[in-house]
Copies of this chain bind each other. A is one copy, B any other.
């Protein structure tokens, strides 16, 4: 999932503009614009790196040039050098915070995703995907979805227009499950999948019978999920439907869900509540002015 460079740059410029206003009055008053600088971004704690392309693009937009020995998805230890950059010292100073803000957040999302994906990989049996949701921070959906993918997770729906997800609120207004699936099938492109939210085993089975592609088991206990899955197997419906569990799942209680028989576990917290990874940028004059 990669924005075209030209399109990405427009987004990144708006981030720079947000921080800069009319300029960096500190740097502009102190730093001779002809001084060349050298900068290193160091990661101060272990984590999974995401946002390299974006950070390097920010540097380039600012007239600097950066390189990295890493690639997105790499696991790093505390103290690892992530990016080295050169360019006008004043440009490095101006882009510093924006680049770090994006890199640290994306790495935070990738890190928590990666942890959960590893947990999922350890368990036996049918593989389970860790997915994010549409619970992303406003304006950052692309960056967070991409970070989830870098962390090994599934990006789920990108927007309200790329798959059908019939939720509790829809059913409350629009009628029964089968009727809703039929309507959606008729009106929505054949290129779209249809997912339906179920809160009980009964609803889940009704959904599967009605021909949904995916059922979202919302806020169901792991044991209820297990029973539902077993029932679907018994009815010969299991291979026709993807099972997704969601609602109240955290790092602390994910284990039970991982062995509940679902195909996907989706969690809002990996995007909306990810802790930023701590990194810092060290900038020096390339001619070593200060001693």
Which residues of chain B have C-beta atoms less than 8 A from A49's C-beta? none
| Per-residue contact bits, chain A 119-138, to B (CB 8 Å; 1 contact, 0 not) | 00000000001010011111
> Are B159 and A20 in touch, CB under 8 angstroms?
yes
Residues of A within 8 A of B (CB): 1-7, 9-10, 13-32, 35, 37, 61-63, 89-91, 93-98, 100-102, 104-105, 108, 129, 131, 134-143, 145-146, 149, 154-167, 169-175, 180, 183-184, 186-193, 195, 214, 242, 244, 263-264, 268-269, 272-276, 281-285, 289-290
Contact A137/B193 with A276-B273, A290-B175 known, Cβ cut-off 8 Å? no
Distance between A57 CB and nearest chain B CB, rounded to angstroms? 11
Which residues of chain B have C-beta atoms less than 8 A from A29's C-beta? 164, 183-184, 186-188
> Are A191 and B170 in touch, CB under 8 angstroms?
no
Docked complex Cα distance between A269 and B45 (Å): 15
> Are A160 and B21 in touch, CB under 8 angstroms?
yes
Docked complex Cα distance between A289 and B173 (Å): 6
> Are A22 and B142 in touch, CB under 8 angstroms?
yes
A-B CB contact pairs (8 Å), 13 listed: A1-B28, A10-B13, A19-B160, A22-B158, A25-B163, A37-B173, A97-B134, A105-B137, A105-B138, A139-B140, A155-B189, A173-B284, A175-B290
Which residues of chain B have C-beta atoms less than 8 A from A4's C-beta? 16-17, 20, 23, 61-62, 91, 94-95
List 13 additional contacts besides A30-B183, A269-B275; criterion CB under 8 Å. A1-B161, A4-B16, A4-B17, A4-B95, A6-B13, A18-B138, A19-B141, A20-B160, A138-B139, A139-B139, A140-B140, A172-B290, A273-B276
Contact A97/B135 with A163-B191, A192-B25 known, Cβ cut-off 8 Å? yes
Distance between A6 CB and nearest chain B CB, rounded to angstroms? 5
Number of copies of this chain that the complex holds: 6
Docked complex Cα distance between A21 and B157 (Å): 11
Which residues of chain B have C-beta atoms less than 8 A from A136's C-beta? 101
Which residues of chain B have C-beta atoms less than 8 A from A97's C-beta? 134-135, 160
> Are A1 and B23 in touch, CB under 8 angstroms?
yes
Distance between A249 CB and nearest chain B CB, rounded to angstroms? 12
> Are B30 and A189 in touch, CB under 8 angstroms?
no
> Are B161 and A21 in touch, CB under 8 angstroms?
yes
> Are B162 and A158 in touch, CB under 8 angstroms?
yes
> Are A134 and B25 in touch, CB under 8 angstroms?
no
- Which of A1, A5, A14, A95 has the largest number of chain B CB atoms within 10 A? A1
Docked complex Cα distance between A89 and B281 (Å): 34
Partner of A94, one of B129, B139, B160: B160
